[in-house]
Every structure is written in C-alpha cells, then in structure tokens.
Amino acid sequence: MAASLALCASHAMAQSQAVQIYGRLNLGLEEVRTSADAKGQSSSTARLSNNRSVLGFRGSEDLGDGLHAIFQIEGTVSPDTGAGSPAQRDTRVGLEGRAGTLFLGQWTTPYNNSTSTLDPFYPTTAGYMSIMGNGSASSADNVSDVSSFDRRQQNSLSYWSPNWNGFSLRAMQGLNEERSASGARPSLSSVAGIYEQGPWYLVAAHERHHEYQGKDLNDSGTRLAAAYHFGETRIALIGERLKYEAPAGTLERNAWYLSATHQIGRHGLRFGIARAGDGGGSAPATQKIGFIRKGRDTGATHYTLGYDYNFSKRTSVFAYYTHLHNEKNGVYDFAINSVTVSPGATARGTVLGIRHNF
C-alpha cells in the first residue's frame, strides 16, 4: 500500500513539474474623450479597461530522441467584470524537435506575432492595431472578421523552424472550413522570416486572405520591420501595405509605425507613433473595409507617450497619454477598448494602470 501511494505521489509530482500555470492581469483606469462620437457629439468617459488579461496552462512531454509533445491552453480573464473563456486565446497541441515545431489549434498569425513585440503599448487601448493591421481580431475564423490582419486564427496549422544562425521562419495555414452562398471557400496563409542576432531584429512578413471578400477575391498584407538595441534603448520601425479585392474594385493603403523605448533602472520611457495614408485603389469613393476608407483625407495619426515603473520583474504600474487624430474623412478608432468615432474625429485618453505576470 505504501509503495502504491509513493508511486502515485511520484507520478503526480512528475505531472506537476511538466505543467506550468501562468497568467497576466492588466487593468487600466482610463479617461477617454472623442471630439465626435457616433452621433457627431463630443463625449468623455471614465472607465476601467481590461488589457487582454490571460490565464493559461502549458507543458511538454519528452518522447525521446530530442522529440517533445507540447500543449498550451490559454483563456481570457476579465478582472474588471469577472468574464472569461478557458481557451479563447493561444491554444495548441503539437510536436517540437530538431526540425522545428509543428502544432494545431488557435494561434496568433506569423504576420501578427513577428512584430507585435515592437509596440511597447501592445495590447492596450493605445496599441498600434488602431492603424497597423486594420483593427484587431482577438479570435477569428475566416468569416467572423474579414478585415483585420492583426489576428488570432482559429482552425490553423502552424510550423516554426529552428534558428539557423539568427534566421528563422514561421508559417501558418488557416483551414477553409467555412462555406458561403456565393461559393467562396475562404482560407488564410501567413508567413514571416525573422533575423535576430546581436542588437538587430529584422522581419519580412506576408499574409493572404483567400476569398474573404467574395469568390475569387483575395486580400494581402505585407510588412517590413527593423529594430535595433543600443544599451537600454530600442528603436523600431515597421512599414505596411494592405490590399483588399472587393467586388467593386481594390482598396489599398500604406502605413508605418515608429517606436522608441528607454530603460533607466526601474523606470521605463515609451513612445510610439503610427501613420495611415489615404485609402486608394480602383474601388469607388464609398468603399470602406474595417477602418480603411477610399479617398482623400482618409488617413490618421496615432501617437502615445508612456511611463512604466517596475516594482519587480513581474509587477509594474504604468501611465500613458494617447492621441488618435483622423483627417476630415478618416474613421480610425482604438482597436481595443474603442470609443466609436465619426469621420474626422479625434480620440484621446489618459491612463493609469497596473500589470502583474505570474
């Protein structure tokens, strides 16, 4: 009997050592204003906003000869309301070995995860998804969100290569499980090439949305990014081109994002600015997909200045001011914790928050 109990205890200990429980709690007390809301009126709101807090479980099993089975279950947590879902974020099962990592599930696309770390305000109200990627799809299939290139894709197959002298590859295929009355069979393909060596971090990423806007119509996003560390300072620059094929013609837009961070002991200074150009292409002037509109003066500029104080490696408080200015025909909004805007509106926010990782 004692031997059986010892064996069970040993087995339980091995299991607990293989599984990691982790999470992030991130809340901000915000005062946000818009010069023209959905009714065209100025408004202000004091609110407590959840910045994509998470609770997750991950682990692996050694299968021998350098091969491991891997798994992760990550869910949403809303400390402000108590809401949540156990597997709505990065969730997967797969194999990891000398040839790379192959996994199935729901995961952020390579187009997204190869550059999101270059935004010091990701994922908050001030995140660059207001402009870069044309909104944010926290969990989407091929029909629930047909505009955003900043997405976590359901029903997907992913491969991440090993690191070859600083170079690595990430690829994803979103399966075409959905059908539409038009006969379209939408699917997603995403790939990113990454070079990370010394102070440099370089990315070339491309994503294709097959038949998202209708049969035989394909959308594409292309990003080039570079970041450089010197001392406790990092500078990053991202350029992006999005192109949509709508039934009435193409809709295209260029954008860029610049960020800078500097750490002084426990103190962190953060800055980011994103700029969207006018929407172009052969589509009519009334064409709109996500935040992007066709025509003159449809661009926007979004900048944020912030400060972090790190009590420890896991706990910090932060403050920032964020300002999103639309040109007279622009309709860009905060991608997370939106305020709802009319054309030409300016949205701004002042935020004080706390973040704890475990």
Give pLDDT, residue 10: 46
Average pLDDT value for residue range 228-257: 98
Nearest CA to 24 out of 58, 50, 60 is that of 50
Q: Give CA–CA dist 258/225, Å, rounded.
A: 10
Average pLDDT value for residue range 97-119: 98
142 CB-contact burial (10 Å; exposed 0-12 / middle 13-18 / buried 19+)? buried
Q: Give CA–CA dist 53/124, Å, rounded.
A: 10
Taking the model in full, what pTM does it have?
0.93
Q: Give CA–CA dist 253/241, Å, rounded.
A: 6
pLDDT, tens only, 291-333? 999 999 999 999 999 999 999 999 999 999 999 999 999 999 9
Average model confidence (pLDDT) for the chain? 95
Pairing of strands 267-276, 249-264: antiparallel
Residue 14 clears pLDDT 90, i.e. is over it: no
Please check whether residue 77 is in contact with residue 53, taking contact to mean a CB–CB distance below 8 angstroms.
Answer: yes
DSSP 4: H
Give the helix ranges, DSSP H, for the chain.
2-18, 110-113
pLDDT, tens only, 243-297? 999 999 999 999 999 999 999 999 999 999 999 999 999 999 999 999 999 999 9
Average pLDDT value for residue range 114-141: 97
Structure tokens at 341: 């805007």
Nearest CA to 88 out of 136, 27, 153 is that of 153
Please check whether residue 270 is in contact with residue 306, taking contact to mean a CB–CB distance below 8 angstroms.
Answer: yes
- CATH number of this structure's domain 20-357, picked from the four choices 2.40.50.140, 3.30.70.1400, 2.40.50.100, 2.40.160.10: 2.40.160.10
**Cα distance from N-terminal residue to C-terminal residue, the chain:** 37
pLDDT, tens only, 78-92? 999 999 999 999 999
Nearest CA to 52 out of 134, 121, 147 is that of 121
Give pLDDT, residue 181: 82
User: Which residues lie closer than 8 Å to 100 by C-beta, 6 or more apart?
Assistant: 159, 160, 161, 162
Domain ranges of the chain: 20-357
Region label for 77, one of left (φ > 0), alpha (ψ between -120 and 50) or beta (otherwise): beta
Please check whether residue 222 is in contact with residue 209, taking contact to mean a CB–CB distance below 8 angstroms.
Answer: no
